[in-house]
Structure 1
Amino acid sequence: MVATRPQLTGRAAILAVVVCAIAMSLAYPAREYVAQRRQIAQLEAQQANALSKLQRLEERRRRLEDPEYIKRLAKERLFYCEPGADCYQVLDEAADSTAAKAGSKPPERPAWYVTLWRSFEAADKGRPAAPAGQK
């Protein structure tokens, strides 16, 4: 009878254990390397965002130091009118055109104190306040 050799020899078993040990010892550092590279990419993106924000703020600071820009902002936002100039302001152009097309006046809102008094009366009677156009 022919003697058969076992499939797994002692040397092969030791070699398999060594290979597994090396793979296990390299797995953690490789995972840490990938995590650190990901973190570096995130930090670089944050830095790029911070730099772009800084550039926008610097540009805004330069504009705010310009007196002509400040005058233009005052005219647009605060409706500032320089002395001696004729200034006009159109109030709610869209609402005026729709009212003119309909041929009727828009409903007038009562004064704030009338609305306040109506809410007091409604609270005293225990019912909700009437809308502004009623009563």
Structure 2
Amino acid sequence: MAGRDRGDRFSTTTRIKLLGEQTAARVYRSQTRRQARRSRLTSRAALLALVVCTLVVALAYPIRQYVSQRAEIADLERQKQQARERVGQLRDLKARWQDDAYAEQQIRQRLHYVMPGETGYVVIDPGAARQSRAGRTAADRSWYSNVWYGVDRSDAAAQ
């Protein structure tokens, strides 16, 4: 038998060595397959992340525009409502001025007009009297000077 072992094509040492190499090759192949699966999974994850990032970048600007336009629309709606309210107030004021009694009341109050036979009195609060540019108070000026003073003042405020 000893002669037969020598005559065998493979000795025990060679068989063990060959068996170790085969086992190592199997382990290497299984590791390579696992790594291939892992790398495939990693490449899939990377591809998915790339697609998600691309979608986020592609949709970020339109979404920002949409949000800003919605805010602008809401602001314009608010302005439109305020304008409608102002138109309503101006219509009411116009209707009041159409009434002769209201116009007469405003003329008496603002311009200090009196009807013939009436005596007009103007009570001036010393704390409320304002000095004009000429150093005279509103009570010291004539009614038409007060009117022009008011026009000049409103014109200066508009500018």
TM-score (norm 2): 0.51
1:68 to 68, 90, 101: 101
Match of 1:56 among 68, 85, 89: 89
Identify the residue that residue 26 of structure 1 maps to in structure 2.
Answer: 59
Q: 1:80 matched to which residue of 2?
A: 113
- Looking at structure 1, the residues matched to 64 and 55 of structure 2 have their Cα atoms a distance apart, in angstroms, of 15
Aligned 1:118-133 pairs, distance under 5 A: none
Identity of aligned residues (%): 38
CA RMSD in angstroms, aligned pairs only? 2.0
Which structure is larger by alpha-carbon Rg, 1 or 2? 2
Name which of 18, 35, 57 aligns with 2:68. Answer: 35
Question: What is aligned with 2:121?
Answer: 89
Relative to structure 1, the CA distance from residue 18 to residue 90 in structure 2 (aligned partners, 3 Å threshold; closer, same or farther) is: closer
- The residue number in structure 2 matching 1:44 is 77
Number of residue equivalences: 93
Q: Stretches of 4+ moved more than 6 A in 1? A: none
C-alpha distance in 2 between matches for 1:15 and 1:91: 84
Counterpart position of 2:7: none
Uncovered stretches (5+) of structure 1, i.e. residues with no partner? 96-135
Q: Name the TM-score, length of structure 1 as normaliser.
A: 0.59
